[in-house]
Amino acid sequence: MADAGSLIRKLQEAHAKATLDNVGSFEALTHPLTELADQLRESYQASVAGPILAMIGKLRKGGALTQPELDLAESFIAGDAEAYTRLENDFQSWVLELGRLMKVLGEMSANLKGKVLLDAVGEIDDARRVLGDICNYLEEKQRVVSFRRTTAQGLDAERASLLADLLEQHLTSSDL
């Protein structure tokens, strides 16, 4: 597999060729994006595999994790979600857009006949798209909150075993 830098250049080249009159030119970005995400994930997993394996051993032996180790565990398990929710800058716009679409649908409700029926379907399509973005953001945010809430309660033997299992699963998983 190519290194991340060359994959980014490949993605940029494909993006530069994309034109608004050719949906296929945008669809062609899917594979390079997926390939890049896979490479970045695998590189990250490889870069922290040693410390993660050490943490798993420590947890299995009943040892307590230090704060830096807990931070690494969080990054390993929910770091992608934390990065996404920290870097995403359209969330408030999505919420406002969904509100606008609900208002438009409400205004249409008094005259749902003929072409207005199709206009309503178009508005619903837009609402479903933005709702998917909102739900994805909130789910990713919840992953981070759940991890932090669970580890803030301390790692008793049961939680330590669960964390060790999660770390092992993530270490061998193709998904972060």
Q: Structural domain boundaries of the chain? A: 1-64, 66-154
The per-residue pLDDT for range 43-92, each reduced to its tens digit, is 999 999 999 999 999 999 999 999 999 999 999 999 999 999 999 999 99
pTM of the prediction?
0.84
For the chain, what's the residue count? 176
The per-residue pLDDT for range 104-120, each reduced to its tens digit, is 999 999 999 999 999 99
Per-residue b or e along 57-88, where b marks 16 or more CB atoms closer than 10 Å to that residue's CB: ebbeeeeebeeebbebbbbbbbbbbbeebeee
Element (H, E) at 60: helix 30-60
Q: Within the chain, how many helices (H) and strands (E) appear? A: 7, 0
